[in-house]
Every structure is written in structure tokens, then in C-alpha cells.
Amino acid sequence: MKKMKALVKARPERGLWMEEVPVPRPGLNDVIIKVAKSAICGTDLHIFRWDEWSRKTIKTPMVIGHEYMGYIEEMGAGVTNLKPGDRVTGEGHLACGYCRNCRRGKEHVCENSVGIGVNIDGSFAEYVRIPATNVVPLDPRIPDEWAAIMDPFGNATHTALSFPLLGEDVLVTGAGLIGSMAIAIARYAGARFIVASDLSDYRLGIARKMGATLTVNPSKGEKISDTVKKLGMRGFDIGLEMSGSPAAFTEMISNMYNGSSISLLGILPSDFAVPWSDIIFKAITLKGIYGREMWETWYKMEMMIIGGIDLNPVITHRFGIDDFMLGFEIMEQGNCGKVILNWE
Ligand code: NAD
Ligand code: ZN
């Protein structure tokens, strides 16, 4: 049996181990992708740390990872629309195709969704197997490193483009790996003012490069309400909650304009005192966001990249795969944007 290198969550404890595992074989409708570049997601960091969510979700041993790009190596006999050598990435949520949601075109909220690198073996490996229906062929104008982060760019796109942005004032709470990309999308889509908050000055620096009008660091006593005054707004038209922080969400609510809309990507805890009466009296629309819409989000990402959006400021570190630990350490410490791991 052919073997390959892979980053394996081998044991139920903190850490991640480079191991030799069998190269996956394609089923009838699968492809095998030779991975060229990987990126580290916040989810991978959760699994590395072995936090409460990971302990509930991950069955060891498991090859983790779901942000990558590469080339088709091998295909099942049923695959007719692709060919070996095609430069591709993949949607990491595998939808069943037959549940109520799949059949009404909402595959991102499939009842039976399976996550690459979370529920089944992932892409921190020399080769990854996915169904051909999940393959995204890459336009030659999409750079390799950007292709490797289309999964989180897709979260940002789905969140940011959930409401029309042209001429609107946008608040992004949490200018992290995904929030910073949402800023560039809001800029691209014609927003007027974009204010971003984060606890990290390093990340607020990236936010400004991505197009934020003003940035706010609440850990230094800075207030979103001051930016509302400074920019002469009545409040924000659109909120993109990308921190998962109750404090950030509460401050967002108090700075939204009447009749505004909020997309919620950050995973807020279930048990905090949400200012419901403000949400009701301001007539705020709330929308929960999960994953990427298949396949509208992917189409819009491709169009924005070809149209000239710049994702470069968000990619801050690059390592060879054998130095993966350096990548996880810098992610843990937080003074970084996206971290790319090269397999070549
Ligand atoms: P990230 O950790 O890179 O970004 C979160 C940022 O929020 C950090 O930079 C942090 O400093 C900042 N933050 C924390 N408290 C804050 C506060 N009080 N005010 C302002 N900023 C604050 O994570 P990410 O990868 O960008 O993901 C963003 C969120 O989206 C996370 O909660 C993640 O779990 C969630 N997520 C959801 C989905 C989904 O499908 N719904 C998918 C991916 C990620
Ligand atoms: Zn389904």
C-alpha cells in the first residue's frame, strides 16, 4: 500500500503529529488531489489544542485540515468533467444531495453534512480524497495562496454579501482571519464607511490595509460609538459579527441604526444576556451564517478575485510543511493573519 505524509490528530490530547498513512483510493465518483498548499484555520487550532468542542467532535485518529489547493492526481471511473493535472480546491462540506435542503438548493445547510478534516480525513496530507462534485476548478488568474484560503474567504463572502452593501456603513466586530477578508469584500461591494474592532493592534493593522475606514481596539478603552460620532453617522446599516464575543455583539447592537441588518458568523456562546429589546425596538434583522452557499458564494469569490480584490495583506506567514509546528504556534499567539504551509 502506498504511503504519504499527513498531519494526524493521533491521540485525544493537545498536539498534532506528522505520520505516514495510506494514500486514499478514489471511489467511483471521487478525485484524489495532490495538495500543494495548505492554510491553517481557527478550527485546526481548536483541534490542535484539544478544546471542549474538539473533544466532543473529533474521533482520533484523524487527518485534519480543510484549507488547501492542489492538482488532480487520480479520479474514479465515474468522473467525467475533470482531468488529471487540473488545478483545483474544494468545498469542505460534503452535502448528501437528497435531503429537503439539498433538494431546494440549500446544500450549505444539508441535514447530513460531513466536514473534511473534521468528520472524515482532511487535507493536511500529500493527498486528499473528495467527491468530484465538491471540486472547484481554479481560474488561472487566482493565485495559489489565495486558492488555498478560499474556504475562509467564502465564510467572509457569505457573511458580508448577505445584505446589499452599496453606500452602506458597515461595522465588522472581530477583524481576525475571516473578519479582515470581510472588510475587503465590503469595500469591493461599495460600502461607504467600514469600522472594524479587534483586541489585537496587529490585526487592526491588517484591517486598515484591507480597507477599514477606522479601527477600534476595545482592550484599550476605544469605543465604537466614538467612530459613529466622528464619521457623522446615525449608526451602522450593516453589522458583520466575526468575533464570537458577547461584549462585541452587545456593543454592535447599541451602535446599529434603526432598521439595520446583522450577519452572525462568530460562534457566540448560548448563555449570555442578549439585548433583545434593543434588537426589537430598532427592528434589526439577524441572520445566522453557516459555511458557504453552494455554489453562489464560490462564484462570487471567483468574480471578486478576477475583478481585482486584494487578499495579500491577510497572508502573513509561510512555512514548509515540516515546520508546521511553527505555524500552529504563531496562530496560537495571534500575531498573524493567514498562515500558509507549503508541501512542495
Ligand atoms: P479569529 O480568531 O481569527 O478572529 C476572531 C477575532 O475576534 C480575533 O482577532 C479576536 O482578537 C477578535 N475579538 C475577540 N474578542 C473581541 C471583542 N470583544 N471585540 C472585538 N474583537 C474581538 O477567528 P476567524 O477564523 O476569523 O473566525 C471568526 C469567528 O467565526 C470565530 O468565532 C469562528 O469560530 C467563527 N466561524 C464560524 C463559521 C460558521 O460557519 N459560522 C465558520 C468559520 C468560523
Ligand atoms: Zn443534504
CA-nearest residue, atom 1 of ligand 1: 176
Q: Are 275 and 252 in contact (CB under 8 A)?
A: no
Q: Please tell me the distance from the alpha carbon of residue 303 to that of residue 93, in angstroms, as a whole number.
A: 21
Ligand 1 in reach of 197 Cβ (< 6 A):
yes
Query: Nearest bound ligand to CA 99?
Result: 2
Ligand 1 in reach of 176 Cβ (< 6 A):
yes
How close are the terminal C-alpha atoms of the chain, in Å?
A: 22
Give the number of other Cβ atoms within 10 Å of residue 189's Cβ: 19
Ligand 1, pocket-test mutation among 242, 249, 286, most atoms within 8 A of CB: 242
CA-nearest residue, atom 8 of ligand 1: 176
Nearest ligand 1 atom, CA 247: 18
Q: Please tell me the distance from the alpha carbon of residue 252 to that of residue 236, in angstroms, as a whole number.
A: 9
Distance 174 CA to ligand 1 centre (A): 6
Residue the block writes with cell 461607504: 192
Q: Please tell me the distance from the alpha carbon of residue 210 to that of residue 180, in angstroms, as a whole number.
A: 6
Ligand 1 in reach of 66 Cβ (< 6 A):
no
Ligand 1, pocket-test mutation among 47, 52, 155, most atoms within 8 A of CB: 155
Q: Are 26 and 74 in contact (CB under 8 A)?
A: yes
Ligand 1 in reach of 218 Cβ (< 6 A):
yes
Ligand 1 in reach of 337 Cβ (< 6 A):
no
Which pairing describes strands 285-288 and 67-75: parallel, antiparallel, or unpaired? unpaired
Q: Which candidate, 21, 43, 1, 48, places its Cα nearest to that of 127?
A: 21
Where in the chain is CATH 3.40.50.720? 155-288
Tell me, what's the pLDDT at 20? Answer: 98
Grid cell locating 60: 482520533
Tell me, what's the pLDDT at 324? Answer: 98
Query: Nearest bound ligand to CA 46?
Result: 1
46 is annotated as an active-site residue: yes
93 is annotated as an active-site residue: no
Q: Are 248 and 272 in contact (CB under 8 A)?
A: no
Where in the chain is CATH 3.90.180.10? 3-149+311-342
Residues 6 or more apart whose Cβ sits within 8 Å of residue 303? none
Please state which of the four CATH numbers 3.90.180.10, 3.40.50.300, 3.30.750.24, 3.30.800.10 is assigned to the domain occupying 3-149+311-342.
3.90.180.10
Nearest ligand 1 atom, CA 173: 20
Distance 198 CA to ligand 1 centre (A): 9
Tell me, what's the pLDDT at 1? Answer: 87
Q: Please tell me the distance from the alpha carbon of residue 201 to that of residue 107, in angstroms, as a whole number.
A: 37
Distance 244 CA to ligand 1 centre (A): 5
CA-nearest residue, atom 38 of ligand 1: 265
Query: Nearest bound ligand to CA 153?
Result: 1
226: left (phi over 0), alpha (psi -120 to 50) or beta: alpha
Ligand 1 in reach of 266 Cβ (< 6 A):
yes
CA-nearest residue, atom 30 of ligand 1: 266
Q: From first to last of its 344 residues, what are the pLDDT tens digits of the chain?
A: 899 999 999 999 999 999 999 999 999 999 999 999 999 999 999 999 999 999 999 999 999 999 999 999 999 999 999 999 999 999 999 999 999 999 999 999 999 999 999 999 999 999 999 999 999 999 999 999 999 999 999 999 999 999 999 999 999 999 999 999 999 999 999 999 999 999 999 999 999 999 999 999 999 999 999 999 999 999 999 999 999 999 999 999 999 999 999 999 999 999 999 999 999 999 999 999 999 999 999 999 999 999 999 999 999 999 999 999 999 999 999 999 999 999 98
Nearest ligand 1 atom, CA 267: 32
Grid cell locating 117: 478534516
Q: Please tell me the distance from the alpha carbon of residue 13 to that of residue 55, in angstroms, as a whole number.
A: 9
CA-nearest residue, atom 17 of ligand 1: 248
Tell me, what's the pLDDT at 323? Answer: 98
Which pairing describes strands 3-9 and 62-63: parallel, antiparallel, or unpaired? antiparallel
Distance 110 CA to ligand 2 centre (A): 4
What fold characterizes domain 155-288? Rossmann fold (3.40.50)
Q: Are 167 and 189 in contact (CB under 8 A)?
A: no
Tell me, what's the pLDDT at 335? Answer: 95
